[in-house]
Amino acid sequence: MTEPIDSQPAADLFLEIVRSLGKPEPIVLTTVIQTEGSTPQKPGAKLLVRSDGSMVGTLGGGCVENDLKAFALDALREGRPAHSRQYVLNEAPSSSRGMVCGGRMNFFIDPIRKPGDYLPYGREILDTLGGAAPVALSYVIKAPEGQERLVGRKLLVRGDGSRSGGLGSPELDEETLAAGRELMTGNGGCRYVCCQGGFEFFLEAYVAPPLLAMLGGGHIAKALEPLVKMAGLRFCVIDDRPAFANRERFAAADDVLSADFAGGLGRLKVGENDFIVVATRGHVLDDVALEAAVRTPARYVGLLGSRRKVGLIFSGLMRKGIPRERVMGIHAPIGLDIGGRTPEEIALSIMAEIVMIRRGGTGQPMMLGPSPKPPAVNCDSGRGDS
């Protein structure tokens, strides 16, 4: 089973990994590799523990995280090799330890005493999370008797097929390559793989975060910028007015293009997992920008505007030969109906819809229905723009 990897937490973590190893400083990386039942974190979650006891990331908090921190520091002091450790979270609610989720978690504890052993991998993953080509990192979790020395061996596979490192077996490398290619051609993610011969490995595939291309640099774009970055997406603003498309106005954006909307969008590599929001300053420009947007493979195209304007623009697109299915798939008027009026509230409704599409949500309230159930236990202690 493939689990997703959230790009923004991963980018923050790998930035700290690279900084720590660049000093150089020994660290321990603890990764959730398997879960069963209700757990505070899912596979792929990581915790960086430095030799001074400071931490970055989370495994869900609470006593499990504290125990794993202690084990990580012991591993550095005592020279323990990489190994896995399991926790069963099934204690009674009255337990002082508070592990009441009723699940099972398996962790991989990986001491990195020689920074150079991991630093090149960390740098490439960080580059990918910043927009570079995909990569997949696999490491041996379990080896058959007599080959335990291979536990912790790593292999980095790139989107172009090149690789660095190795798992100690050509057959294991090839199996990893096949699984890595599969994940890299999709949305990335992680997977636990059992191989013939008693080997088991964990695979993490990282792809560039989705792009949100904003066509129009007005009030809505300004309000969207922090929400897009908090959601872990890349953000690019395009506007034909230099006063509205500049780094001073959009300091957090990954790219700002002062160009006409069709030309600027053509300079971007828009993929099937990307998003486009059209919110220009007028009907004519909306028409041009939306036509350019629907000619890309973007999974989501949204238009800010009244229902009357949307109908007129849709009719014009179909007259220009845009397939009806593509036109009717445009999210317009854009956003979820939360009654937003201000630019900030409208931006929130837009971002809510984008997160819903990205994560496969329904957009429905999550409140309990007419037959109340006990609450889940939390393990962790008509508009235009200008």
Mean pLDDT per 10-residue run, the chain (386 residues)? 73 93 93 88 92 91 87 91 85 46 85 94 93 92 91 93 90 86 84 87 91 97 96 94 96 96 94 93 90 95 89 90 93 94 96 93 79 41 50
Peptide bond into 333 cis (omega under 30): yes
Ordered by where they begin, the domains of the chain are 10-21+115-209 (no CATH), 27-113 (no CATH), 211-359 (3.40.50.720)
pLDDT in the model for residue 102: 64
Question: How far is the C-alpha of 7 from the C-alpha of 120, rounded, in Å?
Answer: 19
Tokens of 309: 């304007």
Contacts 24+ apart (CB under 8 A), 162-170: 164/120, 164/121, 165/121, 167/138, 167/139, 167/140, 167/199, 167/201, 168/140, 169/199
User: With a threshold of 0.75, does the pTM exceed it?
Assistant: no
Give the SS3 label for residue 383: coil
pLDDT in the model for residue 371: 47
Pick the closest to residue 333 from 354, 363, 302 (CA basis): 302
> Which residue shows structure tokens 């595939």?
205
Q: What are phi and psi of 378, to 5 degrees?
A: -85, 115
Pick the closest to residue 203 from 149, 271, 130, 125 (CA basis): 125
* Per-residue buried b or exposed e for 148-163, using 16+ beta carbons within 10 Å of the residue's own CB: eebbbbbbbbbbeeeb
Burial environment of residue 250 by CB neighbours within 10 A (0 to 12, 13 to 18, 19 or more): buried
pLDDT in the model for residue 131: 83
Paired strand residues for 1: none
pLDDT in the model for residue 101: 57
pLDDT in the model for residue 181: 87
Tokens of 350: 């837009």
- Decide: 212 and 275 in contact? Cβ < 8 Å: yes
Question: How far is the C-alpha of 287 from the C-alpha of 302, rounded, in Å?
Answer: 12
